[in-house]
Amino acid sequence: VYILGIESSCDDTSAAILCNDRVLSNVVASQKIHEQYGGVVPELASRAHQQNIVPVIDQAIKQAGITKEDLTAIAFTRGPGLMGSLLVGTSFAKSLALALDIPLIDVNHMQAHILAHFIDEEGFDKPEFPFLALTISGGHTQVVKVTNHFDMEIIGETIDDAVGEAFDKSAKILGLPYPGGPLVDKYAQLGNPKAFPFTKPRVDGLNFSFSGLKTGILYFVQKQLKENPNFIEENLHDVCASIQYTIINILIDKLKKASKETGIKSIAIGGGVSANSGIRKALKEGEFKYGWKTFVPKFEYTTDNAAMIGIVGYLKYLQQDFTDMSIVAKARIKF
C-alpha cells in the first residue's frame, strides 16, 4: 500500500510517501517569509503553500522512487489549522484523488501528532494501548487518553496560550527572533534553571494556563532592565534556563496528576515542543522517579510533517475509512 500524505495546516508545506507504515520520503518546505513579521501571517502562508505544493509533492514521489500511478490512497490534513492554508492541501488532495481515481482520507492534525508514534522506525518503539499523549505544539497543549488508534479523549488542555506560544512569546520579550522556542532551549542548556524563580500558575484539574507566566516574565524583565539596561545580554542563559525549567515543571506536574488519576504509566509526547531537550530529559527522569514508560518520536516527526499524516492515512486505509468529495477543510475540530 502506497499512501501520499499532504500537510498544509500552518506554515509548512509537506508531502510524504509511506509504504504501509514505513516512510519512503518526507519533504518539508518551511516558509521563511514569516520570520520578519515575528509570527505566521495567514495570507502569506496560503500563497506560499500555493507555490510549494506541486514541487513538494513531486519531490516526495521522486524521492520515494515511485510514480503517482503507484499510489493507493491520498491522505490530507483537514484541520485544525489556518483556513487559507488548509484549503490549499484539501483542494489539491481532492483533485489528485479524483484524477487518479483512488480513495481520499481526511486526517485530524492533532491526532496525527500522536499517531506519528506508529511510524515504523528503527530504534523507536510503538506505545501500547492505553497510553497518555502529551501534545505540545505552537497551537495546542493537550493531555490525551489514547485507548485505541482512533479512540482518543482530551482529559486536559490549555485555557489560554499553548506551550509553544509560551516559549515563542518569552523569546520575543528577550528580543530573540521568531520562532524563539528552539533558541530558548539552546541557551537554557548553558544556564542555571534556578537563577530566577517564576511563579507557576494555579489551574484546577488537568488543564494548563501559560498567559500569566508570559506576563510575569515580561514584568520581571522590564523591572530588571530599568536597573540594568544590559540585563538580558548578561543573563540570557540563566533567564532562558529559568523559563524552560518553569514551563517543564508545569507540564510534568500535570502528567504526574494525569498518570495518577488514570493509572496509566505509558506516556508519549508529540508536537513541535517535544523537540525540547528539557522535556525529553524530564520524561526520562520520570521513568526512574515514577515508573513511567516514555515515548519520544524521531525529531523530524515532531514538528509539522506529512509523514504523520501518511501514517494516519495508512491506519485509516486498513479500516477502509475513506471520505468523499463533499469533504471540506475545518479550522477547528476536536477528535
Question: If binding is defined by CB under 6 A, does position 79 make contact with ligand ATP?
Answer: no
Smallest gap from residue 213 Cβ to Fe ion (A):
21
Cell numbers describing residue 209 = 494556563
Instruction: Return d(Cα 226, Cα 268) in angstroms, integer.
Output: 43
Task: Specify burial of residue 228 (Cβ count, 10 A radius: 0-12, 13-18, 19+).
Answer: exposed
**From 246, 294, 303, 323, residue interacting with ligand ATP (rule: CB under 6 A):** 303
Question: If binding is defined by CB under 6 A, does position 238 make contact with ligand ATP?
Answer: no
127: preceding bond cis by omega (within 30 degrees):
no
Instruction: Return d(Cα 69, Cα 49) in angstroms, integer.
Output: 24
Is residue 161 marked as binding? Answer: no
Piece of the chain touching ligand ATP by CB under 6 A; list 17-25, 52-60, 270-278, 317-325: 270-278
**From 79, 103, 156, 271, residue interacting with ligand ATP (rule: CB under 6 A):** 271
Piece of the chain touching ligand ATP by CB under 6 A; list 68-76, 100-108, 174-182, 231-239: 174-182
Contact indicator for 213, 201 with CB cutoff of 8 Å: yes
Contacted entry of ligand ATP, Fe ion, none for residue 181, CB cut-off 5 to 8 Å set by kind: ligand ATP
Place of cell 515504523: 120
**From 276, 282, 323, 329, residue interacting with ligand ATP (rule: CB under 6 A):** 276
**From 31, 137, 158, 244, residue interacting with Fe ion (rule: CB under 5 A):** 137
Contacted entry of Fe ion, ligand ATP, none for residue 179, CB cut-off 5 to 8 Å set by kind: ligand ATP
Query: Which one, of 231, 223, 236, 225, lies nearest residue 170 by Cα?
Result: 236
DSSP assignment letter at 36: G
Sign of CA dihedral 187, 134, 21, 3: negative
Question: If binding is defined by CB under 5 A, does position 304 make contact with Fe ion?
Answer: yes
**From 84, 272, 310, 313, residue interacting with ligand ATP (rule: CB under 6 A):** 272
Query: Which one, of 117, 119, 107, 88, lies nearest residue 5 by Cα?
Result: 107
Interface residues for Fe ion in 47-66 (CB under 5 A)? Answer: none
Element (H, E) at 55: helix 42-64
Is residue 215 marked as binding? Answer: no
Element (H, E) at 108: strand 104-108
Q: Smaller CB distance to Fe ion: residue 94 or 113?
A: 113
Question: If binding is defined by CB under 6 A, does position 185 make contact with ligand ATP?
Answer: yes
Question: If binding is defined by CB under 6 A, does position 81 make contact with ligand ATP?
Answer: yes
Interface residues for ligand ATP in 93-112 (CB under 6 A)? Answer: 109
Query: Which one, of 79, 78, 62, 81, lies nearest residue 70 by Cα?
Result: 62
Site string for Fe ion, 74-103 (x = CB under 5 A): ------------------------------
Cell numbers describing residue 267 = 506516556
Q: Smaller CB distance to Fe ion: residue 10 or 71?
A: 10
Interface residues for ligand ATP in 132-161 (CB under 6 A)? Answer: 137-140
Question: If binding is defined by CB under 6 A, does position 26 make contact with ligand ATP?
Answer: no
Non-local CB neighbours of 123 within 8 Å, separated by 6+ positions:
none
Instruction: Return d(Cα 128, Cα 275) in angstroms, integer.
Output: 22
Instruction: Return d(Cα 268, Cα 334) in angstroms, integer.
Output: 19
Which residues contribute to the site for ligand ATP (CB under 6 A)?
9-10, 81, 109, 137-140, 164, 167-168, 179, 181-182, 185, 271-273, 275-276, 303-304
Residues annotated in a binding site for Fe cation:
109, 113, 304
Q: Contact residues for Fe ion (CB under 5 A)?
A: 137, 304
